[in-house]
Structure 1
Amino acid sequence: MSVAQSRRISTLIAGRFARSMIARASGGTVALSRLWPGRTDRLIIAPHDLRTADATRAAEIYAGRFVFAGKIVTCHGRSIFDLEPPSEDWEAALLGFGWLRHLRAADTALTRANARSLVDDWISNQARKRPLERRADVRARRVISLLSQAPLVLGDTDGKFYRKYLRGLAREIKYLRYSTLDNDGVPRLQVLIALCYASLCLANQARNIKTASRKLSDELQRQILPDGGHISRNPGALVELLSDLLPLRQTFAARNIAPPPALLNAIDRMMPMLRFFRHGDGSFALFNGMSTAPSDLVATLLAYDDTRGVPMSNMPHSGFQRIDAGTTALIIDTGAPPPPSVSQDAHAGCLSFEFSSGASRIVVNCGMPSTGRDNWRPFARSTAAHSTLTYHESSSCQFVELSAMKRLLRGSPITSGPSNVDSHREAISDGDMLTASHDGYLSRFGVIHRRVLMVSDDGTRLEGEDQVGPAPSGRIKGSDADFALRFHLHPSVKASRLSDARGVMLVLPNRDVWTFEAVDDKVELEDSVFLAGNDGPRRTSQIVIRQDARQASTVRWSFVRSSTSASATNARRNARREPELPL
């Protein structure tokens, strides 16, 4: 481990320790305090929940079957809160109480009574608290859920349960106020959003609205970059945050209180970024921890976008580029890793790209599964899981690997990676060209990865060149200089390696045909996995070109759309390869 890496890990550990000590000390103060400042004797308003509800799941919950994060737990008459959770994701979903929205969607006396019984069970048995229940993002989700679903739980209740509900909610809010320092990134914003909701929805909280709004505004200005991206560089963060920020804006309006300008500005910046990452089929590009996003929720979020404009092409602060030509879309990662404190989910995918034609995704990154993340996380974050160049089977970023440090830091942040990522874009005679490079392999191997991408004006051709070489006046370190160029294909693409071993024919779901070619290099078609599917990981293929930087430092390749069928394209290529007969 290098000196720079050791110093960075030490800084992360010291920061985590300091924040934990402050949170614990503050928690002791909370335990001795009286009610949260101001009497929380009634609810004034319940915020709207934009997340999709499924009324059919209410029957499962009533039957004691709780299905979260791909896992099923059946109560068999016992309290669901007493059972051992099958996974951390499942437990977080249970303790976040977002499932109350499914009961509300059913809207029957039975589901209302069921919701009330489950909430009462949780409030009445605080002695069985689990560590995950105290996690800031889980507690924030729980507060927001209890506020937004209050009409369901309190609709037919008596004054005794009403007061009990408010006491439980007030206790959660008190602890939440001291959770902001213990986390960074999306969890910290979720805590501040939950506190804003609490100040607006509960009575006698006027004195806290200003404080909560100011803290949220400061954090939005820090975390939401000028181009609308999130500091973590994860597109999924935009979906998660907008799902809470849009109803929060409505809640301010419902209370006849002007929303903070920083809130309005953040939403206005994030909306175009949401469109930036979308392919023609509505799915999101898979960068830095992005998984599948619920299409109905995304459609709901986009309905709030008044501009509905064409996505911008350059997001310099977030570090992404987009090229649209005809029906073709190309989205490229041209940014350095995020700050270590928000890099627990960041990937080593510098200069990777995703490529789609119309509603068909062609080249993708492997992405992150929506459930069972821990099993796939090391692979999903590696450079090899991205459509870019991997040098000596190593990732362009390095991560915290020791289990003890992972537990202490609550994840595996990036400790080193590209520090100098250059990109230059220009319009050429027949298209757009992007030139980019990164130094993620420079300190270890003495090489820089340079990538050139060109998309034709009509979108029927994508040409690329990847080069690995030493920095000016430098040299390649070590005896091995092998590298691999990978293009992961979407599972819906049918790929066939051509007989000359220099190309691959790709047939899309709509029967369009694209041909990948690397005239000077041997092309392999190998197994891969697509992790971000709605139904879990799926087998797929990847195009791989292997070379040695000392023998051939440059690889040229292209994707070309054919105007004919797959059989005609194959026949034409075979005919072109046949030798002419002697006269």
Structure 2
Amino acid sequence: MGAFSEQGRIWRLLAGHAWQQTLKWVHGGPLFRLRPQPGAPSRLLIAPQDLRTADQTNAADIYGGRFLFSGHLVETHGESPFEIGGTHPDWQRELHGFAWLRDLRAAESRIAGQNARALVDDWMRICGKRHPIGWDVPVVTRRVMSWLAHSPFILDDGDHDFYSRFLKSLARQVRFLRKTINETQDGVERLQAALAISAACVSMAGQGRYARQSIRRLDQELTRQILTDGGHISRNPRAIIEILADLLPVRQAFIAQGLELPETMMLSVDRMMPMMRFFRHGDGAFAHFNGMGSTPNDLVATIMAYDDARGAAPGNAPHTGYQRLTGGKSVVLVDTGKPPALAVSGNAHAGCLSFEFSSGLNRIVVNCGVSGRSNEAWRRVSRSTPAHSTATIEETSSCRFLTERPFGRWLGTPVIAGPSMVPVERNDDDFGTRVSASHDGYVANFGLVHARDLRLSSDGTVLDGIDSFVLQRNPGREGFYAVRFHLHPAIKSSFLRGGTAVLLVCRDGEAWEFDAPGSELALEESIYLSDVYGHRKTMQMVIYGHARENQTVSWQFRRTAVAKLTRRSAPTGVEEAAGEFQFVMPEDDSFDAFEDTLPEAGEDWSDQT
């Protein structure tokens, strides 16, 4: 029955994809290019702000014909970058998205402005009507937002002919988005397209007849995609960052133009801001759940500056499916949700009941996160259950992803089967916070329900956990389990008491002891994929057992040494979480040996599995 259900989902996906591609061809294909284009707007009224951080050092490279995008360097040798073939698709998406205009603008030079105009003119001349990647909806969305935000820089010192062609091309791209938004990939891409259309209606003159339509569509997408607790329907924390980075400038443009803010827009921002705090550890990094990789700290800090309330992070996000436990300076974040809907599960992970644990500025237990490299093999690894700090049965994932060829090439790799029941109980009292949850992702194959009970003490010095494996039926298969705790690369780990416990030492001298009485405990190599410098070698603690012989595993983290404190400012972007204290290294050299064991920044571990 389960296999038949999965096949049914695949065929429904395939039929929907075929219909969507047909409509996209009708609305945005050759017929779109052949239709007469309406008149261009007479002028631009306002330029929405670009919240993302610029790097002016890239301006010199771009002027010299060196384009480093998505980890790929292309030298043009005097040619236009839009005429060079054979380049990586990710490089082309970033090139055609024009987000790099912010780097040229940051250079604040006349030459950078001339270079920007020349490149925009090249695109209009070479790719203005068609390009296999340049006219993908997400690329058009990003280009429209970039052109609008940096239009004063692009148009400054430009002649009237360039101004007219720029507006005509911009209007054509916005019209393309209006025609194809229904065929856009559901989720963040569709919402960002709606934001780009709304931004254009506010920014360009003569768009009154489209304004109501665009605002209504934006309201629909915000209502549908932003959940009651402020999370996104994809359950990806990164989605909140990306949406707010575009939504906040659009909101400011509405205010600057004296327009009434749609109620849904205001409500969505008010809901998402607390969720920004919800997913953050003490050091400001976001927890690695369902597609979240390294945290763009500069962008997060900019977005948080728009939060007027600056309240405490909520503890419960039941609609998005997460729990947050806090005690003292300790934070535990737990994934307690079902996989997202099929259409928005392309980046979802099989990490049900996984958790991350931090103390102050030290992240201790993490998930492996997402690789910054465009590599399908690493993407599969990062989405698997063993890459998360939770339990696995027979090294299999609690979710099944679409990988069959040729369907996977057309439909991506959404979740086609996974936990359908994830009951959660939470209890807060004077002694701490307790969260109990379970999932049935292993019932079909192994007849087992995984249950996890976590309790964090009120002072944050003790985290107790119990993992249970409840037999629902006998499938006739073995039930070997592994309960994993992936450690952050900055944590030094070593066995204690003859291998029955593990000592965990943080960079600042804070120490924790991990104990799992009566269980087979191992220290093994792991990999941290979400480091800003690349893949990092790290360790994981693993408890092995058999569900028929030992159905319950108890474990505990207990703080055994505190860090030395000094009164000075916390790092940028973590003021809200860390207050006015920052941890510093002890004056003695007890940590030197640990430093020698750490991989260097940027060390490549990509050939490890």
TM-score, L = length of structure 1? 0.94
| Structure 1 partner of 2:550 | 552
Number of the residue aligned with 1:396: 398
2:548 and 2:154 mapped to 1: Cα distance? Answer: 68
- Trace 1:71-110 onto structure 2 (pairs within 5 A): 71-84=72-85, 86-110=87-111
Task: Describe the superposition over 1:239-288 as per-residue Cα deviations: whole angstroms up to 9, x where unpaired.
Answer: 00100000000111111111211111111100000110000000000000
Gaps (5+ residues) in structure 1?
570-583
Note if 1:19 corresponds to 2:17. Answer: no
1:362 aligned residue = 364
Contact in 1 for aligned 2:144/2:170 (Cα 8 Å)? yes
Name the aligned partner's letter for residue 383 of structure 1.
T
Does 1:430 find its partner at 2:431? Answer: yes
SS of the aligned residue for 2:534 comes to coil
Q: Secondary structure of the equivalent of 1:204?
A: coil
Change (3 A) 1:179 1:146: same
Aligned residues: 563
C-alpha deviation, 1:413, in angstroms = 0.3
Kept in 1, the 8 Å contact 2:44–2:204? The answer is yes
Checking the alignment, whether the CA contact within 8 Å between 1:30 and 1:174 is kept in structure 2 is: no
| SS of the residue 1:537 aligns to | strand
Q: 1:318 aligns with which of 320, 340, 343?
A: 320
Relative to structure 1, the CA distance from residue 416 to residue 512 in structure 2 (aligned partners, 3 Å threshold; closer, same or farther) is: same
2:428 partner SS: strand
Q: Residue 19 of structure 1: CA displacement?
A: 1.6
Alignment pair present for 1:211 and 2:213: yes
Cα distance per residue 1:451-505 (max 9 Å; x no partner): 000111110000101011213xxx2312311110000000011111225221111
The answer to whether the 8 A contact 1:179-1:191 is kept is no
The residue identity in structure 1 corresponding to 2:456 is V
**What residue is the counterpart of 1:247 in the other structure?**
249
1:142 equivalent in structure 2? 143
Whether the 8 Å contact between 1:85 and 1:91 is mirrored in structure 2 is no
Give a deviation string over 1:366-419, Cα, whole Å, max 9, x none: 11023324341100000000000001111000000123112211x200000000
Q: Any idea what SS the aligned residue of 1:478 has?
A: coil
| Residues 335, 355 of structure 2: 8 Å contact kept | yes
CA distance in 2, matches of 1:507, 1:130: 53
8 Å contact from structure 1 (residues 455, 461) kept in 2:
yes
Identical counterparts, % of pairs: 46
Report Cα offsets for 1:33-67 as digits up to 9, x if no partner: 3334x641221111110000111211111111112
Residues 191, 480 of structure 1: alpha-carbon distance in 2 compared, 3 angstrom cutoff = same
2:280 aligns with 278
Structure 1 pair 268–564 and aligned structure 2 pair: CA distance change class (3 A): closer
> Within the alignment, does 1:52 sit opposite 2:53 as a pair?
yes
**SS state of the match for residue 221, structure 2?**
helix
Look up the SS of the partner of 2:372 in the other structure: coil
Hey, what does 2:7 align to over in structure 1? Answer: 6
Q: What RMSD, in angstroms, separates the aligned Cα atoms of the two structures?
A: 1.8
Match of 1:579 in 2: none
Give the superposition deviation at 1:162. Answer: 0.9
> CA offsets, 1:184-215, max 9 Å, x none?
00000111111111111111101111110000
CA displacement at 1:302 relative to structure 2: 0.2
Would the aligned equivalents of 1:501 and 1:522 in 2 still touch at CA under 8 Å? no
Give secondary structure in 2 for the equivalent of 1:532: strand
Quote the Cα distance in structure 1 between the aligned partners of 2:489 and 2:386.
17
Structure 2 counterpart of 1:49, one-letter code: D
Whole-Å Cα distance in 2 between the matches of residues 427 and 134 of structure 1?
51
What are the superposed Cα offsets for residues 287-314 of structure 1, whole Å, 9 maximum, x if unpaired? 0000112211100000000110110000
- With over 3 angstroms needed to count, the CA separation of the structure-2 counterparts of 1:84 and 1:513, relative to structure 1, is farther
Amino acid at match of 1:270: M
Counterpart code for 2:464: E
Q: Which of 320, 329, 340 matches 2:331?
A: 329
Q: Which whole-Å CA distance do the structure 1 matches of 2:161 and 2:515 have between them?
A: 72
- Tell me the secondary structure at the aligned position of residue 392 of structure 2: strand
- In structure 1, C-alpha distance between the alignment counterparts of 2:41 and 2:551, rounded to whole Å: 68
**Structure 1 pair 560/87, CA: closer, same or farther in 2 (3 Å)?**
farther
Gaps of 5+ in 2: 564-585, 591-609
Shift of 1:86: 4.7
Decide whether the 8 Å contact of 2:279 with 2:286 is kept in 1: yes
1:576 corresponds in structure 2 to none
Of the structure 1 ranges 305-314 and 14-23, higher mean CA displacement relative to structure 2 is found in: 14-23
Cα offsets for 1:424-472 (capped at 9, x unmatched):
011356221111000011112111000000111110000101011213x
Name the structure 2 match of 1:133.
134
Q: TM-score if structure 2 supplies the norm length?
A: 0.90
